Amino acid sequence: NAGVTQTPKFQVLKTGQSMTLQCAQDMNHEYMSWYRQDPGMGLRLIHYSVGAGITDQGEVPNGYNVSRSTTEDFPLRLLSAAPSQTSVYFCASSYSGLPGTGELFFGEGSRLTVL
């Protein structure tokens, strides 16, 4: 039972490079989301999806793109990496985005450094 799987766990990029952080869940969850965590800032929501084909912006969406072509996968794309995007990224999923119906399950995180 894998839960939420994020890859890669660690990545170093140069400014201007692009990359995709992968997130997959095997729990048939409708709701998936991406957060970033910076020191002393808590977790901030980047993008989220309430089902395949549906995505929306969170608090800090600039510089990131997402898509949801399947229920299982929710990749996060950095189009042109900047040092300000150095952070730890967490993917999370739940059965439904509605509260009271289930908790969020988080992946182990992807640590990104942009030089």
Contacting positions for another protein (CB under 8 A): 4, 31, 33, 35, 40-45, 48, 50, 58-59, 88, 90, 92, 94, 96-100, 103-109
In the complex, the smallest distance separating the C-beta of residue 9 from another protein, rounded to whole angstroms, is 11
Contact 59, 43 (CB under 8 A): no
Which CA distances in Å does 59 have to 19, 41, 64?
21, 13, 12
Indicate the residue among 27 and 104 with the shorter CB distance to another protein.
104
Which has the closest alpha carbon to 34: 9, 57, 10? 57
Residue with Cβ nearer another protein (81 or 92):
92
User: Which tokens go with 89?
Assistant: 């990224």
CB-nearer residue toward another protein: 14 or 99: 99
At closest approach, how far in Å is the CB of 16 from another protein?
A: 27
The residues that bridge with 76 in the sheet, in sequence order, are 21, 66
Instruction: Report the nearest approach of another protein to the CB of residue 24 (Å).
Output: 14
Residue with tokens 């952080």: 21
66 token code pair: 């997402």
Please say which residue, 17 or 52, places its beta carbon nearer to another protein: 52
Q: Min. distance of Cβ 36 from another protein in angstroms?
A: 11
